[in-house]
Chain A
Amino acid sequence: MNSMRARHENETTFHPVVLVATPILALILQAYVPHLFPQFVILDLPLLVVIYFAITLRGAIEGTIMGMLIGLVQDAQTGRPIGVNGMAKSIIGYAAASIGVRIDVENTVSRMLLTAVFTLANSVLIYTIERRLLGFETHWLWLYETVRIIANALVSVVVFWILDRLRRKG
């Protein structure tokens, strides 16, 4: 209870420019860098940004809306129907914000574990939406998903560290 009160006293805020520019930068890098390094596509920078802002701001509604907007923009850049990533990232944003209230998310290890779990959840959601709702012939590749989870968890340490520098303590 004391730790909850202490966390509420240390409410984190961001400059509005950071809240707008960071997702845009993540989306642009996600679209541009695989053109130079195709292996980069295994990372999901927009997902990391959704997770970070959701667990840091601890607002379920903010997390949901941010997840939806980022997901929809990602969908618009693909040739797939718009809404697949939007739905998946809305749920991730909501879940990450809900968990951010309950557990310590300042610790590097817990952040990595959270990122790993949410990366897996994101893939499962997208697979389910595409396979069950849209009837696409998608396949689940365990090895690929494992590599993706590990890669995103490792990169999240760097991304979250950079984003921590942009925080303002309330």
Chain B
Amino acid sequence: MESIFSRYKSLLVLGVVLLVQLIALATQVHRPTVAAVADARTDGHHVRAVRYAVDIVVAPIEKLFTGMGHGARNLWRNYIYLRGVRRHDYDLQKELDQLRVQQMSLMADARQGQRLQKLLGFRQQYIYKTVVAQVIGTSGSDQSRVILIDKGSNDGLKTDMPVITPDGIVGKVRDVFPNTAQVLEMNDQTAGAGVILETTRIRGILRGNAAGQLQVIDLLPDDRIKPGERVLTSGGDLVYPRGLAVGDVQSIGPDKQHPPYIALTLRPAASLSQLEEVLVITETTGALAGAGDGDAQPSEDTAAGALPTAGTADGAPLRPVAPLHPDRFTPGTVPPAADLRPGAPKPEGR
């Protein structure tokens, strides 16, 4: 008996090692029951502890590497390679002046849009607070598109917070540690988001594929969809705020796994493979900064100013003709839709 054990000792060790890991894997696989769907992507405490233990060892060294890399790059860019900087500075200043003027106009439009949305009872989430984080590492594997950032729960980060760059969305926070966090990129196979095509307003589901590409799936064939069309977040997933750039359509093909649907392959708006800095959206709000409730009253001047106008030959705006016998179709005689309540008694005279 002893000789058999010593003879197959290494094979037994392999068997035990595989069995232990197999059991560990089995405990991590969630059954797709309705109750578990919301929790399906989260790790158990023991798995989180293993990830955290590795993070404690790996993250400080990666931060050191990143710091050294940035130091060397800054030394080169800021003190040695300064050719053309003055010209570039002048060009940027000009561009900045133009953008300031443009921004003022856009802010006015945005506030007005918000007022109109409020009148229609439409809720929109605006990005209110972000945390800038530096990418310090990756998963190092092509099976998993995960990046490590240098901000964690100490900086206010929480699981499922959206991560973006000024160009477009990156992904969402997957695991948060005190000083670092793992971000699941949009092109990972387990990632997903609700999206909408900008011009055709067709909604779909964004997913990553095995090759690390972004795909919009669950779409019925539609001739209106053309390569180059921009794709934005729809806000329907309750993770990403509405209207963030995702990418543009690169190609359209059949969805081989779900016929007769089609799948759109996207060119990501953010450079997912070479990220240096990202923004984590830690707070969203229903109002733009500076647009208080007082501004929410409909302003005829601003509303009319932005809408397409029609006028008489002498330039005066068209006014509705006063009715001879006012009825329920006459403007102003019916209360606004926002004031109507289901089951409420009819107003008098109707």
A interface residues (Cβ-Cβ under 8 A, vs B): 24, 27-28, 30-32, 34-36, 38, 41-42, 60-61, 64-65, 68, 72-74, 76-87, 90-91, 94, 97-98, 126, 129-130, 133-139, 141, 144
Contact = CB atoms under 8 A, between A and B. Distances in A.
B69 A61 contact: no
A137 B189 contact: yes
B18 interface: yes
B210 A79 contact: no
Contact of B140 (A36, A60, A74, A86): A74
A116 to B, nearest CB: 18
B199 interface: no
Nearest to B53: A76
Contacts of A97: 10
B54 A94 contact: no
B152 interface: no
Contacts, number: 148
A35 B210 contact: no
Given A35-B136, A91-B14, A138 B143 contact: yes
Interface of B: 9-11, 13-14, 17-18, 21-22, 24-25, 28-29, 47, 50-51, 53-55, 57-58, 61-62, 65-66, 69, 135-148, 174-175, 182, 184, 188-190, 209-211, 257, 273-275
20 contacts: A28-B65, A31-B58, A34-B138, A41-B140, A60-B13, A60-B14, A61-B9, A64-B10, A73-B54, A77-B58, A77-B139, A78-B144, A79-B146, A79-B184, A79-B190, A80-B144, A130-B143, A133-B22, A138-B143, A141-B211
A24 B25 contact: no
Contact of B10 (A36, A61, A134): A61
Nearest to A63: B10
Q: Which of B10, B13, B55, B141 has the most CB of A within 10 A?
A: B141
A41 B22 contact: no
B65 A32 contact: yes
A36 B61 CA distance: 15
Contacts of A82: 24-25, 28, 47, 50-51
Q: Which of B51, B136, B140, B148 has the most CB of A within 10 A?
A: B140
Given A31-B148, A60-B14, A83 B22 contact: yes
Contacts of A86: 21
A27 to B, nearest CB: 7
Contacts of A139: 209-211
A44 to B, nearest CB: 8
Contacts of A78: 139-141, 143-144, 146
A79 B144 contact: yes
